[in-house]
Amino acid sequence: MKDDLTISIDVMGGDQGPEITIPALDLALVRHPGIHFLLFGEEEKVRPWLDTHPNVAAASTFIHCDVSIAMDEKPSQALRRGRRKSSIWLAIQAIKEGRADVAISAGNTGALMAMSTFILRTMEGIDRPALAALWPTLRGESIVLDVGATIGAQTMQLVDLAVMGAAMARAVFGLQNPSVGLLNIGVEEVKGLEPVKRAGQILKNLDLKFTYHGFVEGDDLGKGTVDVVVTEGFSGNIALKTAEGTARQVGEYLRMAISRSWLSKLGYVLARSAFAALKEKLDPRRSNGGVFLGLNGIVIKSHGGTDTVGFASAIDLAIDMARFQLPVKIARDIDTSHKKSIQNSDDSVGKAKLS
Amino acid sequence: MKDDLTISIDVMGGDQGPEITIPALDLALVRHPGIHFLLFGEEEKVRPWLDTHPNVAAASTFIHCDVSIAMDEKPSQALRRGRRKSSIWLAIQAIKEGRADVAISAGNTGALMAMSTFILRTMEGIDRPALAALWPTLRGESIVLDVGATIGAQTMQLVDLAVMGAAMARAVFGLQNPSVGLLNIGVEEVKGLEPVKRAGQILKNLDLKFTYHGFVEGDDLGKGTVDVVVTEGFSGNIALKTAEGTARQVGEYLRMAISRSWLSKLGYVLARSAFAALKEKLDPRRSNGGVFLGLNGIVIKSHGGTDTVGFASAIDLAIDMARFQLPVKIARDIDTSHKKSIQNSDDSVGKAKLS
């Protein structure tokens, strides 16, 4: 357990910047009194918020940055304009230089990913970073990755996602032996994309620190059939946004249904504790924070539109990751996985299945 | 308007076969008194249901089949075992021979697709059939395709899906100029899979009988942002199942929340008309029936687990399609689209965008 954690914050990130991020740090300090912050942002905009949040000011080192990246800037433009001087860049740079344990931004996802990859580089043996999301389920929470960092995946990239997701499940859920499923369009082994089928064959034969469950389908996400769901970024992003949209749609149907008659409205008033509980269940702030995996450092992406409570959740997640020393664990697991995969494919020379 | 429609029914299809399908035909006859059925199934199992449904018996011609395909049979096995003698095969064969206008089955999706493609063949210019689903939205209903008939899609296959989906929207929704969107992981033109980006370029420049809206994301499905959402079968199937799963998950959260206290339960009783309305909104039977597009004939896939009401909805859909003469319209639109695409690419020789 590391008690002197330092968290690097892109104060300018998100739709509202310091107005949300600074009060969120105040909340986080109540839960985690020992932590220290490195704050990166435009002094003029951040200072008034620090003045009204003395606890945050006392726990922080503030570093002025000339440039803030806009939420809609293209990653290439953001890299050109924000290199070495934007709040996102400098927040990540602090991890690279060992001055912080983890970085958080609610800013532009593409820019955050591009800069994180540029500064921290992917781990040995990993081609590309992945973005992992916490997914609320009927059984609690699962981890789904990749939800949009990179599009498409070859067999071994899917295997790597499984290894990284399992390591994250051990960190966040405290599970010794998380279950891992591959997202597919049927549970039979004959169905689906070739890389998904081949990754299934490999995962079945790898003896790693998780249980390979097999294929799962879209409706298994909400059920929580497995602790970790692995898919490439295109399908993962579509699944994530479809689920968010459907939850809002059902909520809207419910609202319309309730407002149809005064009797329903009365019923709503009586059952309001139930509706409050439902609202809390569906609250996207509860599971706020995606994690970039596969880099030499931990970067957390908070939802850009989140509020104080949501940004504070992302800080909780960051602290979990940093205490668990996630990158070290992932690097070790990836190394083991690659060695076993090579061994298995040597063992099975001539066997069509694994070739 | 064709009043003497004949509908070919795989009576054995679905989890419960004739127990569901025959009573559903009774319901359909109330709504569509003039229609005629060709019924394919095992005499021993179907006859008792016809005896108790004399209206159906009077409107039907029954044809005995020795073989019924199981719900979990692999398509290849189903083709071997069921060729020329299963209820699915013969129901489709009746369209090919001009004895029926449309075929419906609640049976094994893979077998239905394999046999439909084998018997009816894809239309000229179409490589592969697609499965289109009706998707309930906040604005009504949309069409989403492909939801799992074929995996992956090249640029022109996505353009063909747009043309076929738009034709179906004209048939089912009665729209002159439906809007069509491409499912992607961002609305910016720089994002996404290469074939999706290229299809977007082509659709923008094709002057067809629909409005190309641009890219849509997963959360646009529930909003009903466009009338037709185009995607390849892997992502489409994952989106469909994720949405179904999320709707069930939210319903389950609601049930758990309501049962937490007697006050909530009382509220539930008072608001029960609202909950009934919500239940109806979420009722998957309302939008039952996927349509195979791109074949020389109309085949409707009903959900295997549906009931009488759901199977009757699939018959409504089948009648809409047959009256509209969907395959003829699609063939004409595809032909126009291909001619214009070739012309556009000739016009733009040397332009990198369309090459």
Is beta strand A228-230 parallel, antiparallel or unpaired with respect to A140-145?
A: parallel
Instruction: Please tell me which residue of chain B has the smallest CA distance to A220.
Output: B245
pLDDT at A282: 72
State the pLDDT confidence band at A105, using cuts at 50, 70 and 90.
very high
Which pLDDT band holds residue A259 (cuts at 50, 70, 90)? confident
Judged by CB atoms within 8 Å, which residues 110-169 of B form the interface with A?
137-138, 148, 151-152
Query: What's A64's DSSP letter?
Result: E
CB contact under 8 A, A218 and B243: yes
Burial class of residue A264 (count of CB atoms within 10 Å of its CB; 0-12, 13-18, 19+): buried
CA angle (A156 as vertex; A182, A297 as ends), nearest 5 = 95
Contact B258 A271 (CB under 8 A): yes
Residue written as tokens 């504790």?
A273
- CB contacts < 8 A (A, B): 211
* B286, amino acid identity: R
Query: How many whole angstroms separate alpha carbon B336 and alpha carbon B355?
Result: 20
pLDDT band at B285 (very low <50, low <70, confident <90, very high): low
- Among candidates A219, A252, A258 on the partner chain, residue whose Cβ is nearest the Cβ of B242: A219
Return phi, psi of residue A138, to 5°.
-65, -20
Lowest mean pLDDT: which of A7-21, A154-168, B321-335? B321-335
Q: Average of pLDDT values for B95-113?
A: 94
* SS3 label, residue B214: strand
User: B250 and A282 in contact by Cβ < 8 A?
Assistant: yes
Which pLDDT score, from 0 to 100, does residue A349 have?
A: 47
Amino acid at B201: Q
d(CA B273, CA B280): 10
> How far is residue B202's CA from residue B206's CA, in Å, rounded to a whole number?
6
DSSP letter, residue A244:
H
Q: Hey, are the CB atoms on B238 and A238 less than 8 Å from each other?
A: yes
Q: What is the strand order of the sheet A60-64 is part of?
A: A60-64, A36-41, A6-10, A102-105, A299-301, A290-293, A130-137, A140-145, A228-230, A179-183, A211-216
Q: Is B291 exposed, middle or buried (0-12, 13-18, 19+ CB in 10 A)?
A: buried
Pick from A101-110, A181-190, B214-223, B275-284: least confident:
B275-284
Residue A325: other Cβ atoms inside 10 A: 14
**What distance in Å separates the CA atoms of residue B65 and residue A187, rounded to the nearest whole number?**
30
Average pLDDT over residues A104-119: 94
- Does A79 contact B at CB distance below 8 Å? no
* Interchain CB distance below 8 Å, B138 and A249: yes
The pLDDT assigned to B353 comes to 41
Query: Alpha-carbon torsion A147, A151, A152, A158, what sign?
Result: negative
Q: What's the whole-number mean pLDDT along residues A331-344?
A: 88
Which residues in chain B touch residue A246, judged by CB atoms under 8 angstroms apart?
221-222, 242-243, 246-247, 250
Tokens of A176: 């010794």
Residue A38: its pLDDT value, please?
98
pLDDT score for B56? 97
Which residues of A, range 224-253, sit inside 8 Å of B by Cβ? 231, 233-235, 237-253
CA distances to A86, A88, A184, B112 from A158, rounded to whole Å, are: 33, 28, 12, 31
Contacts of B84 (CB under 8 A, 6+ apart): B90, B93
Phi, psi of A336 (to 5 degrees): -60, -45
- B282:A250 CB<8 A: yes
Output the 3-class SS for A256-305: HHHCCCHHHHHHHHHCHHHHHHHHHHHCHHHHCCEEEECECCCEEECCCC
Provide φ and ψ at A155, rounded to 5°: -50, -55
Beta carbons of A117 and A41 less than 8 angstroms apart? no
Q: What is the pLDDT of residue A46?
A: 97
Complex ipTM above 0.90? no
pLDDT score at B1: 42
Test A219 with B245 for CB contact under 8 angstroms.
yes
Distance of CA B165 to the CA centre of its chain: 10
Q: How far apart are CA B36 and CA B14, in angstroms?
A: 21
Q: What is the pLDDT of residues B131-165, one digit of tens each?
A: 999 999 999 999 999 998 888 899 999 999 999 99
- Does the pLDDT of residue A24 top 50, yes or no? yes
Contact B239 A238 (CB under 8 A): yes
Checking if the pLDDT of B342 tops 50, the result is yes
Interchain CB distance below 8 Å, A235 and B238: yes
Per-residue pLDDT band at B355 (split at 50, 70, 90): very low
Best mutation target, B131, B137, B142, B219, to test chain A (most A CBs within 10 A): B219
Question: What's the one-letter identity of residue A4?
Answer: D
Q: Residue A223: what pLDDT?
A: 95
Q: Chain A partners of B238 at a C-beta cutoff of 8 Å?
A: 183, 185, 217-218, 231, 235, 238-239
Task: Decide if pLDDT at B283 tops 80.
Answer: no
Return the percentage of chain B with pLDDT > 70, whole number: 94
